[in-house]
Structure 1
Amino acid sequence: MSKYTLLKSRKFFIALSCLALSSFASQKMLAQSVTVDATIDSLQVMIGQQAHIQLQVSMDAKQKAIFPHFKDYLIKGIEIIGVAKPDTQYLNNKQRMLITQKYTVTSFDSALYYIPPFSVKVGTVAYKSKSLALKVYSPRVDVSHPEKFYPQKGVMNPPFVWADWAETIFLSILSIPLLFLIIYFIIRFRDNKPIIRHIKIEPKLPPHKQAMNEIERIKVERIWQKGLSKEYYTELTDTLRTYIQERFGFSAMEMTSSEIIEKLMELEAKDINDLKFLFQTADLVKFAKHSPMMNENDSNLLSAISFINETKAEELTDIKPVPTEITVEEKRSRRAKTLLAVGIVVLSAAVAAIIAHVALRLADMFI
């Protein structure tokens, strides 16, 4: 082998050795960049108490960690009752990160437990934490004095707090007006009447105009031609009685025909004779079943009109008419009826829910 070839082989061997050492150093540095630490907040707990184990992994931000998974028990005797969501913190301008995983454990057997190291896999390498220990002990019992042991206490009722019942009381009070509102809606729905009555304000007519309007109606209907003479004279005399009562100021509706005539004569009213004949004819028709002639009916109608015109009071133009309220009942439309029915159903469901809620609260308190 020549001197040149030997020198060249030595350089290649040296370069290969440097490359291997560099790879080994980089792997070692990468391994040292991952740290796994486990701590426990209580080294000693009583049976049934809880302890918290904290597992922390520090690594590069580009790496991925896989934490150990436990089903029900950490080890035999130590039960896992809660696993918190991992908490991640970024460090060194997000070049590294610190992941914290918390486990809540408990035990119901007194013993000194050895908790083996936790294994966390980062990439393809598994890293382990240090081992832990947990002492679980039972409470001390003085068996030499059995008289100090007491039986189990009964269930204690919590104290009454108004704030706990504010919602129930409010709903109970609210259900009362809602119940009355449902009853009102049902009545209006049954009678086919609107929820709100419409009120019209109209001026009150003077007595003679009211009487003339009524007589005009009687004249148009001409019910005596249908054999209803008694009804005809009843309506005619009632119209005259109402007019006389409002015009002259005495209770003509409660007086007999003769008493009305006598009272009008005292007041020196006009056209008393024709009015007297009209009342006499009406009494005969109503009480003696008298059947007057057609011309007699027309004549009595004209006598009533003449009496009203002769005795009516003079109208004063500077006096404003007194308004009177007239209630107007209107039938609901189909749409309004549907909305009313829906309102009844919704309110009924709300009241039923309130009653059920109050009943459940009362049952929880007394049962």
Structure 2
Amino acid sequence: MGVLLSLPMQAQVTVDASIDSLELLIGEQTDIHLEVSLDAKQRIQLPVLKDTIIKGIEIIDIAKPDTQMLNEGKRMLIKQKYTITSFDSALYYLPPFEVKVNDRSYASKPLALKVYSIPVDTLRPDQFFGPKDIHSVSITWNDIRWIIWFALMILVLLTAGYYLFKRYRDNKPIIRRIHVEPKLSPHEQALKDIEEIKADRSLLQNDSKVYYTKLTEVLRNYMKERFGFNAMEMTSSEIISYLMEIKEQNALSDLKSLFETADLVKFAKLDPLMNENDKNLVNAVAFINETKIEPDPNAKPEPTEITVVEKRSPKGRMILLGCLIIIAIAIVVLIYLIINNIIDVWF
């Protein structure tokens, strides 16, 4: 418990000093509190102390002065704290703290401090113990848990970064857009494709080779799905020969003419007239309608077709690159944290 010593110098100025503890063990610390009360208009100069108060009493810290206004601002109370210690056992006399107010000196009463060491029993030296051996401390979960968590986070980020890098390298979006469409029957799909060819009038007028190539591909796909033979790998004559085995020759005359014209356009650079091209397209539609099989309304519906669309805009590419940069920075930070934790645990 601290002892408060005060010495009123005159009515306007008082200087008080107190110490938190009168006794200390060597190396312990205590605080000295200096309080000065004066008129608000007076000038004050506190004691200028550096490292020591007296020999043997060291100053550890000097706190910033705290000023309080009293009596509606007419008076001031200034408080100053000094943290001290000592490493020599003795009874110390602390001289008064001197304060100057309006160039006039005022002082507190002196203080006393006893510093003592730990008593040693010299009569029983066997109670003294030498330095202990170094013991290894077992590593616990709390010591390595952050290392493991950070390593798992790096593994997750590396997986995500690899996926995003592949999408960036292959110029694909982060997320695939999937369209689910009903599966059409062979003749419905063929008629749909022919309508697309028919709608492209520029193709019909300017490039007969591409026109007949697309038209015969539609028919070949239809035959493959409808009759079950690989028409895509067969020549025109082979297709007609195969169909003649399952259909009357007269019914295939128009289809035969269509394939013959297509071969002449592809290999002999024939340029058919416009009405002949229209006639061949009509013949293709007629063949499909004559050979189509209407689906059974009571049959189980065919599974839907899933179309994966992978397109990415320039904005999406920039977002993808930004994500890769953020992941790289996060991995570097986590590696730094892991190294710091390893040093703390093992070194």
1:326 to 304, 307, 310: 307
- 8 A Cα contact 1:192 1:332, kept in partner: no
Change (3 A) 1:224 1:344: closer
Give secondary structure in 2 for the equivalent of 1:144: coil
Verify: 1:183 aligned to 2:162, yes or no. yes
Change (3 A) 1:353 1:93: same
Please tell me the residue identity of whatever aligns with 1:112: L
Verify: 1:53 aligned to 2:35, yes or no. no
Verify: 1:193 aligned to 2:185, yes or no. no
- 8 A Cα contact 2:47 2:97, kept in partner: yes
Q: Aligned residue for 1:347?
A: 327
Q: Report the alpha carbon displacement of residue 208 of structure 1 after superposing the two structures with TM.
A: 0.8
Give secondary structure in 2 for the equivalent of 1:187: helix
1:73 to 25, 36, 52: 52
Q: Report the alpha carbon displacement of residue 213 of structure 1 after superposing the two structures with TM.
A: 5.3
- 8 A Cα contact 1:185 1:340, kept in partner: yes
Q: Aligned residue for 1:91?
A: 70
1:140 to 115, 119, 125: 119
Verify: 1:312 aligned to 2:292, yes or no. yes
Q: Aligned residue for 2:16?
A: 37
1:356 to 336, 340, 343: 336
Q: Aligned residue for 2:84?
A: 105
Q: How does 1:1-367 map to 2 (within 5 A)?
A: 31-153=10-132, 154=134, 171-212=150-191, 238-244=220-226, 252=229, 274=252, 306-314=286-294, 323-333=304-314, 335-367=315-347
Give secondary structure in 1 for the equivalent of 2:33: strand
Structure 2 distance, partners of 1:47, 1:155, is: 29
Q: Report the alpha carbon displacement of residue 140 of structure 1 after superposing the two structures with TM.
A: 1.1
Structure 2 distance, partners of 1:88, 1:225, is: 98
Q: Report the alpha carbon displacement of residue 155 of structure 1 after superposing the two structures with TM.
A: 7.6
- 8 A Cα contact 2:42 2:101, kept in partner: yes
Structure 2 distance, partners of 1:317, 1:149, is: 103
- Relative to the length of structure 2, the TM-score reads 0.70
Please tell me the residue identity of whatever aligns with 1:354: L
- 8 A Cα contact 2:61 2:84, kept in partner: yes
Please tell me the residue identity of whatever aligns with 1:361: N
Report how many residues are paired: 314
Structure label with greater radius of gyration:
1
Change (3 A) 1:185 1:161: closer
Q: Report the alpha carbon displacement of residue 90 of structure 1 after superposing the two structures with TM.
A: 3.1
- Higher helix residue share: 1
Q: Report the alpha carbon displacement of residue 93 of structure 1 after superposing the two structures with TM.
A: 3.3
Encode CA deviations 1:52-102: one digit per residue, 9 max, x unaligned.
Answer: 111111112222322112221122211111112222333333332222111
Task: Give ranges in structure 1 of 5+ residues lacking alignment.
Answer: 1-28, 246-250, 286-290
- Relative to the length of structure 1, the TM-score reads 0.67
Change (3 A) 1:225 1:156: closer
Structure 1 distance, partners of 2:49, 2:187, is: 103
Q: Aligned residue for 1:9?
A: none
Give secondary structure in 1 for the equivalent of 2:226: helix
Taking every aligned residue pair, what percent have the same amino acid on both sides?
39
- 8 A Cα contact 1:118 1:131, kept in partner: yes
- 8 A Cα contact 2:154 2:334, kept in partner: yes
Structure 1 distance, partners of 2:9, 2:109, is: 20
Q: Report the alpha carbon displacement of residue 166 of structure 1 after superposing the two structures with TM.
A: 7.4
Structure 1 distance, partners of 2:135, 2:98, is: 46
Structure 2 distance, partners of 1:184, 1:126, is: 79
Encode CA deviations 1:294-334: one digit per residue, 9 max, x unaligned.
Answer: 89xx999998765422121347999999753321121432x
Change (3 A) 1:56 1:233: closer
Change (3 A) 1:346 1:225: closer
Give secondary structure in 2 for the equivalent of 1:32: coil
Q: Report the alpha carbon displacement of residue 202 of structure 1 after superposing the two structures with TM.
A: 3.5
- 8 A Cα contact 1:274 1:303, kept in partner: no
Task: Give ranges in structure 2 of 5+ residues lacking alignment.
Answer: 1-7, 198-202, 272-276
